[in-house]
Amino acid sequence: MRKPYSISMIALLSFILVACGKGGDGKAVEGESGKSAAEPLKMVEFVTTQDGSPLIIKPELFDTPAAKEFATTGKNPYIGNKEAIEKGKKLFQLYSCTQCHGGDAQGQTGPSLHGPNYKYAKNATNKGMFETIWHGTNGGMGAKGKGLMDPTDPNNGLTPDEVLKIIAWIRTHGTTTGNE
C-alpha cells in the first residue's frame, strides 16, 4: 500500500512545482489586460536605513498615482509640485519634525535636512530619504511610517503619499532634487 501512495505524492508534487513555475514567469498574462486595479505593483526593493535589510511595505498603502509611481520607480513625482510642497510643509509641522529638525529643516537637536551631504549618504536620494523617514534610524530618529510610528495604533503614522510630499518640501531647501 505504501508504494503507490508515494508515487502519487511525487506526481502531485511535481504537478505543483510545474504549476508554480508557470505562475512565476507568466508576466505578460496579467499585464496585457492593462491597468486593472488588481494588478500587482512591481515595487522597487526598499531597505532599512538601520542595516540595509529588506523593508517590506504593504503595496495597498501606495494608494495614489504619485505613490504608485514612486513604488515602481523610486522617483518622487511631487518634486517641484507647488501644492504637494505646501502640503508637505504642513505635514512636517503636524508630525513635529520641526521640534527636532527646526521650522525650516535647518537643524536643531536633529541634523539639518538641506543636504547635499547627509549623515546617511542614501538620503541624497528620494528613495533613501523615504526609507529613513518610513523606518527610522538607530540614532534617535523613530519610524514615521503608517503602522510603525505607534505600535498601539496601526492607523497612526504617515502614508507613503504624505512622506513623498514632505520630501518634496525638504528638497526645496537644497540644490538637488533627489531624483537624479
**What is d(CA 136, CA 2) in angstroms, rounded to the nearest whole number?**
55
User: Minimum Å distance from CB 149 to ligand HEC?
Assistant: 9
**CB closer to ligand HEC out of 125 and 132:** 132
**CB closer to ligand HEC out of 38 and 50:** 50
Say if residues 17 and 10 touch (Cβ distance below 8 Å). Answer: no
Which residue minimizes CB distance to ligand HEC?
A: 139
**What is d(CA 61, CA 146) in angstroms, rounded to the nearest whole number?**
8
* Cβ-Cβ contacts under 8 Å for 91 (sequence gap 6 or more): 158, 162, 165, 166
**CB closer to ligand HEC out of 80 and 139:** 139
User: Minimum Å distance from CB 122 to ligand HEC?
Assistant: 8
User: Minimum Å distance from CB 68 to ligand HEC?
Assistant: 21
List contacts with ligand HEC (CB under 6 A): 95-97, 99-101, 110-111, 113, 118-120, 123, 129, 132-133, 137-141, 144, 166
Torsion of CA 96, 106, 115, 93, to 10 degrees: 20
User: Minimum Å distance from CB 133 to ligand HEC?
Assistant: 5
84-117: b or e for each residue (b if 16 or more CB lie within 10 Å)?
bbebbbebbeebebbeebbebbeeeebbbbbbee
**CB closer to ligand HEC out of 33 and 138:** 138
**CB closer to ligand HEC out of 11 and 121:** 121
Question: Grid coordinates representing 104?
Answer: 525650516
User: Minimum Å distance from CB 5 to ligand HEC?
Assistant: 58
